[in-house]
Amino acid sequence: MDMIPSVDLKDFVSGDPQRKQKFITEIGNAFEQIGFVALSGHFLSDTLVKDLYKEVKNFFDLPQEIKDKYEIEGIGGQRGYTSFGKEHAKGKKEGDLKEFWHFGQYVVDNPKLEAEYPANIMVTELGKFNSVGKETYKMLEKTAKYVLRALALHLGLDEYYFDKFILNGNSILRPIHYPPITSEPKNAVRAAAHGDINLITLLMGAHGRGLQVKNHEGEWIDAIAKPDQLMINVGDMLSRHTNNKLKSTIHQVVNPPKELWGTSRYSIPFFMHPISEMPLNCLEHCIDAEHPKQFEDITAGEFLHERLIELGLIKK
pLDDT digit string, tens, across residues 231-267:
999 999 999 999 999 999 888 877 666 766 777 888 8
Least confident of 157-166, 169-178, 180-189, 239-248: 180-189
Residue 278 CA, distance from chain mean position: 18
Tell me the average pLDDT across 264-271.
89
Confidence of residue 210 (pLDDT cuts 50, 70, 90): confident
Measure the CA–CA gap between 117 and 172, rounded to whole angstroms: 11
Measure the CA–CA gap between 179 and 261, rounded to whole angstroms: 9
- In degrees to the nearest 10, what's the CA dihedral of 299, 303, 306, 309? -120
pLDDT (tens digit per residue) in 63-121: 999 999 999 888 878 899 998 765 544 554 555 678 999 999 999 999 999 998 999 99
Confidence of residue 5 (pLDDT cuts 50, 70, 90): very high
CATH superfamily of 43-310: B-lactam Antibiotic, Isopenicillin N Synthase; Chain (2.60.120.330)
pLDDT above 70: percentage of residues in the chain: 87
CB 168 within 8 A of CB 105: yes
CB 182 within 8 A of CB 264: no
Q: Which of 78, 82, 200, 202 is nearest to 136 (CA)?
A: 202
Domain ranges of the chain: 43-310
Q: Catalogue the E-assigned strands of 47-152.
A: 80-82, 99-102
Confidence of residue 217 (pLDDT cuts 50, 70, 90): confident
CB 96 within 8 A of CB 189: yes
